[in-house]
Amino acid sequence: MFHAVVEPRDPPSVAGCGMQTRRSSASLVLPLALLVSACAAHGLAGEPPVPFPLPFQTLAPTEPAPDDDRAWVIFGADTVVVEVASSPQERERGLMFRESVPDGTGMLFVFGDEVIRGFWMDNTYVDLDIAFMDASYRIVDIQQLEAMNTEVQDSRAPFMYALEVRRGWLAEHGIEVGDVARVEMRSPGG
């Protein structure tokens, strides 16, 4: 979904250079030109993915683990197998152009800091739930996002991670604000 993350409304942050912000085409021409030139000036076109800040658990090669390009987000007995979006390009594309998001799957957006950001659903064909989580994976906000809605929806609290799943999945599993997830992924080279 991510479809675009809109960084904080304060002075543009470096992390915002990889994100799309779009309200109306007429009002964006000058800001977009300034953003592109600022990104080029900072050399961020090839900005590396954000590493997972701790705490996340890496699993030894002998333990069951998600595939190399996936992670598990675990809430008690409920596990979501997620694609990890940690680079600006991955976060920008998110779950765009998907026809479905099967139960128990989703995407985890990883950012380098905790701030209020916005998401929109441009070119996202599936209604989604989004759980915004702080650095300790505690859910600080949950919102429902409507497919193809291009209005930016800001988080109600600063967050570092955003988990997107099929709309209704979080409520069906009793997951709510204040719950804490555990995130597991295969150790590098494992």
pLDDT in tens, 128-140: 999 999 999 999 9
pLDDT of residue 18: 31
pLDDT at 172 over 70: yes
Backbone angles phi, psi at 93, to 5 degrees: -80, -40
Tokens in use for 5? 């993350």
69-73, 91-95, 125-129, 186-190: range with lowest mean pLDDT: 186-190
Q: What is the mean pLDDT of residues 114-141?
A: 97
68/128 Cα distance (integer angstroms):
24
> What are the boundaries of each domain within the chain?
4-186
Q: What is the mean pLDDT of residues 57-82?
A: 78
N- to C-terminal Cα separation, the chain:
29
Which amino acid is it at 95?
A: L
154/152 Cα distance (integer angstroms):
6
pTM score:
0.71
Residue 166, C-beta contacts closer than 8 angstroms, at least 6 positions apart? 100, 101, 102, 103, 106, 126, 127, 128, 129
103/166 Cα distance (integer angstroms):
7
Counting DSSP H helices and E strands in the chain, the numbers are 3, 11
- Domain with residues 4-186, CATH architecture: Sandwich (2.60)
